[in-house]
């Protein structure tokens, strides 16, 4: 159970990515909702933008975030040799 | 590994066959319906077959192996764990309540849509992979191992039981409603029928049985939800993808709202007329309420006498039948005590006030007459989203599911599948709300009372709280202000609104039942495991043989079920509040200690105890002093509603963990090594630890 330099680098990349994805999550959720009234005049596919974001856009972003995380972490595991099959 | 992939492809084959079977069964029943089998019988067949199917899967998956019982042998493929999590997750509140909430509150209701999906980002980023690597059995297990000693574990057990129990009551309540509505059985009997089938699944096979029934329940619930909405979408837009098509319908609804709110148009003028009458009625009731405050019982008796006299006079004059009937109804429903009168009249005033004011635009965020109301709504919207999200990432029955995958990689992937399967329903619910609104605004409003659509009269005769129309201004035409729709109606009546045969209605009922059962399954198992594994095995008798551990778990399951049924039969309060409360409680108690336990090595036992207790206490205290049910009615803090109590509890929990840890000694080297162990999917020296 030795945590090497390599492990620490892996963990730091993980933290960086987690932070980045969390920021996107935060903006898509709270940023858009906070300014919902101001963004009301913009439309997407016939929806007012805030309604579209809360009903569909945010959900699609969440899905992308989670998918990206699973994919990217899998790559990181292999890159740093901490994956389960290595 | 090849054994596992063979297992996966076998499962795919089974469940494809099963899905085909479900569709075939629906087709078969619709043929029976065409042949004239009565609706009641169809309802019975539907519920009977689905419930015995779940019980059958439960019996087939019975097990006496500890790892199979608690974590399904840790070999559930990501895809299927995703489906099971989705069914575990989507409760009666999501299936039946959500579209109705959206119908009634428009944009503001979307807090539930975002909150109940966005939480999975937190699950993915902060918890699922690490808990899987930790690889034990329950959430209190993690707290016990990470923070050491029985203190954190015990608080974890208490919090897990508290939020799961609050949540399970809401499920069983929904269960009783569905069974009683569709079979005509008594509410209490409905509760016990549902409960019996839950027990059959989880009692014999624990997590293994629950997983496989949940997968099959997911298939039924998603098919049941989609069919009527797709049909409705084709009917109104010609497009079979409701999620895309409803933007166009929303534009039309918005245009229609403007017309109905504009007294210059003929339709708007009729609405204004009805609203004026309702306003008058509201003022009348307000005057009555004032007189009641002053005169008390004496006034109530006089008022009853006056109503009786009015009825007698009407009868003498041979007045209009309808008028006599209404007066008679009013007299029969006349409140018996001052307290009854008080609450009944307050309710009437509120209902009339709502209907006499202009309709709020569906797509408008935080609508309100002044800046303060709008800011308030925005604040509460964001607070609710936050609590629901953090609560999602802290509910033990969900987190537990990520112990069941084969590896860390699969756990990450399985969060994606879960969110995908959940989003299918959550992307559809807002579409359903808009499509149903379009139907009501354009087809029902403006139609003549002599030719109401058949679903309106059908539901009005079942339950006045769900559907009620009365010709208030006596013009023979339906105005929007004359229509009362209960939120739960939207999902239940969609098949009829879309003009589908009764079979689809029965399918929707079976879907609602599947949603309630699957969530209740997961919750009851969580409670029983917390008691049998964490309390009995880990704290009371660590040397207990496996046979006894499982026997105790199964026995406790029965006890929990009986307690839950008893509390449900008391019919405590509002389903939506109970569900929301469970999220705030879970978020405040677990989230800070779990996340800091993984991401901050310095967090220690004292910190965990302080953080969990303070977070949970603040959350419970705020609910207690502000939720009307408890009768304290203290002023709100910063106008935050009691359902979002977690907005105070969660930060307090974080501060508690940090402060408590900093003022006491750092955790032992062994604990720090455990943190490293969960952070890396594979490390030299991992062999022989954890993963069982």
pLDDT score recorded for residue B610: 92
Q: Is residue A85 in a domain?
A: no
Work out the percent of chain B whose per-residue pLDDT is above 90: 14
Q: Is residue A45 in a domain?
A: yes
**Binary contact (A56, B682; C-beta < 8 A):** no
Q: Is residue A86 in a domain?
A: no
User: Is residue A8 predicted with pLDDT exceeding 60?
Assistant: yes
Q: Counting Cβ atoms within 10 Å, is residue B441 exposed (0-12), middle (13-18) or buried (19+)? A: buried
User: Is residue B629 predicted with pLDDT exceeding 80?
Assistant: no
User: Is residue B526 predicted with pLDDT exceeding 80?
Assistant: yes
pLDDT in tens, B560-586: 888 888 887 776 666 777 888 889 999
Q: Is residue A84 in a domain?
A: no
Sign of CA dihedral A74, A79, A83, A85: positive
pLDDT score recorded for residue B59: 82
Q: Counting Cβ atoms within 10 Å, is residue B228 exposed (0-12), middle (13-18) or buried (19+)? A: buried
A68 and chain B: CB distance < 8 Å anywhere? Answer: no
User: Is residue B331 predicted with pLDDT exceeding 60?
Assistant: yes
pLDDT score recorded for residue B430: 92
**Binary contact (B412, A73; C-beta < 8 A):** yes
Q: For residue B247, which residues of chain A lie inside 8 Å, CB to CB?
A: 44-47, 52
**Binary contact (B381, A33; C-beta < 8 A):** yes
Could you tell me which residue, B634 or B531, shows the higher pLDDT? Answer: B531
Mutate to test the interface with B, among A24, A50, A54 (most CBs of B within 10 A): A54
The tokens describing B216, both together, are: 């099959």
pLDDT score recorded for residue A27: 92
Q: For residue B366, which residues of chain A lie inside 8 Å, CB to CB?
A: 36-37
User: What residue in B sits closest to A71 (Cα-Cα)?
Assistant: B413
List Cα–Cα distances, B92 to B173, B256, B342, B563, B686, in angstroms: 9, 31, 32, 20, 42
Cβ pair B63, B488 in contact under 8 A: no
pLDDT score recorded for residue A86: 45
List Cα–Cα distances, B666 to A76, B130, B601, B655, in angstroms: 30, 21, 8, 17
Q: For residue A34, which residues of chain B lie inside 8 Å, CB to CB?
A: 378, 382
Q: Is residue A62 in a domain?
A: yes
Q: Which domain, by its residues, includes A61?
A: 5-79
Give the one of A25, A30, A50 whose C-beta lies nearest to B382's C-beta.
A30
pLDDT score recorded for residue A63: 95
Work out the minimum CA distance from A51 to partner chain B, whole angstroms: 6
- What distance in Å separates the CA atoms of residue B58 and residue B606, rounded to the nearest whole number? 42
Could you tell me which residue, B139 or B200, shows the higher pLDDT? Answer: B139
Give the one of A47, A69, A77 whose C-beta lies nearest to B681's C-beta.
A77
Q: How many Cα neighbours within 13 Å face the side chain of B115? A: 24
Residue written as token pair 């008893």: B566
Cβ pair B178, B509 in contact under 8 A: yes
What's the ipTM? Answer: 0.93
pLDDT score recorded for residue B244: 84
pLDDT score recorded for residue B569: 73
**Binary contact (B680, A18; C-beta < 8 A):** no
- Per-residue confidence at B201, pLDDT binned at 50, 70, 90? low
User: Is residue A82 predicted with pLDDT exceeding 60?
Assistant: yes
User: Is residue A2 predicted with pLDDT exceeding 90?
Assistant: no
Mean pLDDT (chain A, rounded):
87
Q: Is residue A66 in a domain?
A: yes
pLDDT in tens, B31-42: 888 888 888 888
Mean of pLDDT values over B620-635: 80
User: Is residue B416 predicted with pLDDT exceeding 90?
Assistant: yes
Name the phi and psi angles at B554, rounded to 5.
Answer: -65, -40
Q: With CA atoms as reference, report the closest residue to B116 among B86, B138, B76.
A: B86
Give the one of A11, A83, A86 whose C-beta lies nearest to B679's C-beta.
A11
pLDDT score recorded for residue B564: 81
CB under 8 A, 24+ apart: contacts of A2-9: A2/B684, A2/B685, A3/B676, A3/B683, A6/A80, A6/A81, A7/A80, A7/A82, A7/B676, A7/B680, A7/B683, A9/A80
User: Is residue B208 predicted with pLDDT exceeding 90?
Assistant: no
- What distance in Å separates the CA atoms of residue B85 and residue B214, rounded to the nearest whole number? 8
pLDDT in tens, B70-90: 788 788 888 888 899 999 898
Mean of pLDDT values over B313-332: 80
Name the phi and psi angles at B484, rounded to 5.
Answer: -115, 125
Q: For residue B407, which residues of chain A lie inside 8 Å, CB to CB?
A: 84
CA angle B170, B176, B180 (to 5 degrees): 150
Mean of pLDDT values over B270-289: 85
**Binary contact (B114, A58; C-beta < 8 A):** yes
pLDDT score recorded for residue B572: 63
* A window 2-41, beta carbon within 8 A of B: 2-3, 7, 10-11, 14-15, 18, 21-22, 25, 29-30, 33-34, 36-37, 40
Mean pLDDT (chain B, rounded):
84
Q: Is residue A30 in a domain?
A: yes
- What distance in Å separates the CA atoms of residue B294 and residue B124, rounded to the nearest whole number? 59
Task: Indicate the pTM of the whole model.
Answer: 0.87
- Per-residue confidence at B688, pLDDT binned at 50, 70, 90? very low
Could you tell me which residue, B3 or B391, shows the higher pLDDT? Answer: B391
pLDDT score recorded for residue B616: 92
- Per-residue confidence at B339, pLDDT binned at 50, 70, 90? confident
Sign of CA dihedral B413, B168, B210, B41: negative
pLDDT in tens, B458-483: 777 777 777 888 888 888 888 888 88
pLDDT score recorded for residue B691: 39
Mean of pLDDT values over A40-45: 82
Q: Is residue A73 in a domain?
A: yes
User: Is residue B1 predicted with pLDDT exceeding 80?
Assistant: no
User: Is residue A67 predicted with pLDDT exceeding 70?
Assistant: yes
Mean of pLDDT values over B261-268: 84
Cβ pair B175, B47 in contact under 8 A: no
One DSSP character per residue, B227-238 reads HHHHHHHHHHHS
Q: How many domains does chain A have?
A: 1
pLDDT score recorded for residue B689: 45
């Amino acid at each position: 159970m030795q945590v090497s330099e390599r492990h620490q680098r892996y963990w730091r990349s993980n933290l960086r990515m987690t932070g980045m994805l969390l920021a996107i999550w935060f903006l898509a959720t709270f940023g858009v909702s906070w300014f919902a009234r101001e963004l009301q005049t913009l439309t997407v596919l016939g929806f007012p933008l805030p309604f579209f974001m809360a009903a569909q856009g945010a959900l699609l972003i969440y899905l992308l975030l989670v998918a990206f995380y699973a994919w990217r972490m899998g790559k990181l595991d292999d890159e740093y040799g901490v994956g389960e099959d290595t | 590994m090849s054994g596992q992939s063979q297992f996966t492809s076998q499962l795919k084959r089974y469940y494809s066959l099963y899905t085909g079977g479900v569709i075939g069964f629906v087709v078969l029943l619709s043929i029976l319906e065409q042949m004239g089998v009565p609706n009641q019988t169809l309802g019975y067949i539907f519920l009977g077959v689905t419930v015995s199917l779940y019980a059958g899967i439960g019996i087939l998956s019975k097990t006496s192996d500890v790892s199979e019982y608690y974590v399904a042998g840790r070999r559930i493929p990501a895809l299927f764990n995703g489906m099971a999590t989705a069914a575990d997750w989507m409760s009666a509140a999501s299936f039946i309540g959500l579209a109705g909430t959206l119908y009634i509150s428009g944009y503001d209701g979307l807090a539930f849509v975002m909150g109940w999906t966005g939480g999975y980002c937190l699950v993915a980023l902060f918890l699922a992979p690490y808990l899987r690597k930790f690889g034990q059995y329950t959430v209190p297990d993690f707290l016990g191992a990470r923070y050491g000693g029985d203190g954190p574990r015990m608080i974890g057990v208490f919090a897990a039981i508290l939020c799961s129990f609050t949540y399970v009551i809401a499920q069983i309540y929904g269960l009783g409603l569905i069974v009683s509505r569709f079979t005509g059985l008594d509410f209490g009997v409905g509760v016990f029928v549902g409960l019996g089938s839950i027990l059959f699944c989880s009692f014999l096979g624990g997590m293994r049985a629950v997983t496989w029934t949940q997968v099959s329940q997911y298939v039924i619930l998603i098919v049941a939800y989609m069919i009527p909405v797709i049909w409705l979408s084709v009917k109104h837009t010609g497009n079979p993808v409701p999620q895309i098509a409803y933007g166009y319908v929303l534009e039309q609804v918005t245009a229609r709202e403007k017309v109905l709110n504009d007294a210059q148009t003929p339709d708007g003028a009729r609405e204004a007329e009805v609203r004026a009458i309702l306003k008058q009625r509201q003022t009348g009731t307000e005057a009555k309420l004032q007189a009641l405050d002053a005169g008390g019982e004496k006034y109530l008796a006089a008022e009853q006498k006056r109503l009786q006299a009015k009825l007698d006079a009407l009868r003498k004059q041979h007045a209009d039948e309808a008028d006599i009937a209404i007066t008679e109804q009013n007299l029969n429903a006349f409140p018996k005590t001052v307290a009854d009168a008080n609450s009944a009249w307050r309710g009437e005033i509120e209902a009339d006030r709502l209907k006499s004011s202009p309709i709020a635009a569906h797509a408008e965020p935080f609508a309100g007459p002044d800046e303060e109301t709008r800011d308030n709504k925005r604040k509460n919207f964001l607070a609710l989203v936050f609590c629901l999200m953090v609560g999602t990432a802290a509910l033990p029955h969900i987190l537990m599911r990520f112990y069941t995958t084969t590896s860390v990689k699969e756990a990450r992937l399985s969060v994606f599948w879960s969110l995908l399967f959940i989003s299918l329903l959550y992307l559809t619910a807002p579409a359903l709300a808009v499509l149903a609104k379009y139907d009501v605004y354009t087809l029902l409003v403006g139609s003549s009372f002599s030719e109401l659509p058949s679903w309106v009269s059908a539901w009005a005769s079942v339950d006045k709280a769900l559907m009620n129309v009365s010709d208030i201004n006596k013009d023979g035409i339906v105005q929007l202000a004359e229509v009362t729709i209960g939120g739960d109606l939207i999902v239940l009546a969609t098949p009829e609104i879309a003009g589908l045969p009764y079979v689809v209605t029965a399918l929707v009922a079976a879907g609602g039942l599947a949603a309630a059962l699957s969530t209740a399954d997961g919750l009851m198992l969580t409670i029983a495991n917390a008691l049998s594994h964490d309390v009995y095995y880990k704290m009371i008798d660590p040397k207990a043989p496996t046979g006894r551990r499982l026997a105790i778990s199964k026995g406790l399951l029965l006890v929990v079920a009986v307690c839950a049924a008893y509390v449900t039969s008391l019919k405590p309060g509002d389903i939506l509040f109970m569900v929301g409360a469970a999220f705030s409680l879970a978020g405040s108690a677990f989230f800070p200690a779990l996340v800091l336990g993984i991401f901050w090595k310095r967090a220690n036992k004292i910190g965990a105890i302080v953080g969990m207790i303070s977070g949970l206490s603040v959350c419970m205290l705020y609910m207690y002093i502000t939720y009307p049910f408890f009768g304290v009615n203290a002023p709100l803090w910063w106008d935050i509603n009691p359902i979002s109590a977690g907005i105070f509890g969660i930060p307090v929990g974080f501060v508690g963990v940090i402060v408590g840890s900093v003022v006491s000694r750092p955790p032992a080297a062994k604990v720090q090594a455990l943190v490293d162990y969960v952070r890396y999917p594979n490390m030299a020296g991992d062999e022989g630890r954890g993963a069982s």
